[in-house]
Amino acid sequence: MLQLELTYAQEDPAHDPEIEAINSQAFGPGRFTRAAYRIREGGSHDRSLSFVALQGGIVVGSVRMTHIVIGKTRALLLGPLAVRPEWKNRGIGRALMSQAMEAAKLAGHRLVVLVGDEPYYGPFGFRKVEPGRIMMPAPVDPHRLLACEFTVRALENVSGLVRHADRA
């Protein structure tokens, strides 16, 4: 069987329909009510920090980054991260994470937050946020609200409501 090479690329508008299909399959209709979605619908995401995994030109995984404000502090919201079911457990999720985090760091960002499972995101430097510090626009399991500091104490004194940066 012909095995087409897996490649990674910065996200492009042409990828949008496939990414939407992947996210729909991964998160279902309930995704529209999730806190992270509510923030993301406030504006666009940053394609220069968002990546896709491609096989033979088909999108098999995607990760996005969105500019946010926490209280008065600028930060990034990572997600959604999703991989097509038949492509799971091949390291694609981790590779997408590495690319997005590296791009964010290179672009000079200091803080990234996400809603997700610490066992998966911990190796990328994500830790639970102290409960009550960062408020999301919809309820979130406090164990799943994670942050990664690119610079020392980037999270210190950061508190407040998370909004899309365009809504700040």
Provide the CB-side half-sphere exposure for 32 (13 A, CA). 4
Question: Would you say 113 and 81 are in contact if contact means Cβ atoms under 8 Å apart?
Answer: no
- Between residue 14 and residue 43, which ones bind ligand COA under the rule CB under 6 A? 26
- Pairing outcome for strands 111-115 and 73-83: parallel
The C-alpha atoms of residue 43 and residue 66 are separated, in whole angstroms, by 8
The C-alpha atoms of residue 54 and residue 93 are separated, in whole angstroms, by 12
The C-alpha atoms of residue 50 and residue 129 are separated, in whole angstroms, by 23
Exactly one of 47, 94, 105, 133 binds ligand COA (CB under 6 A); which one? 94
CB-wise, 4 or 157, nearer to ligand COA? 4
Residue 82 within binding range of ligand COA, rule CB under 6 A: yes
CB-wise, 30 or 108, nearer to ligand COA? 30
Residue 158 within binding range of ligand COA, rule CB under 6 A: no
Selected range binding ligand COA among 67-75, 87-95, 100-108, 130-138, rule: CB under 6 A = 87-95
Question: Would you say 70 and 24 are in contact if contact means Cβ atoms under 8 Å apart?
Answer: no
Exactly one of 90, 150, 154, 165 binds ligand COA (CB under 6 A); which one? 90
Exactly one of 8, 120, 124, 150 binds ligand COA (CB under 6 A); which one? 120
Footprint of ligand COA on this chain (CB under 6 A)?
Answer: 26, 81-83, 88-94, 116-117, 119-120
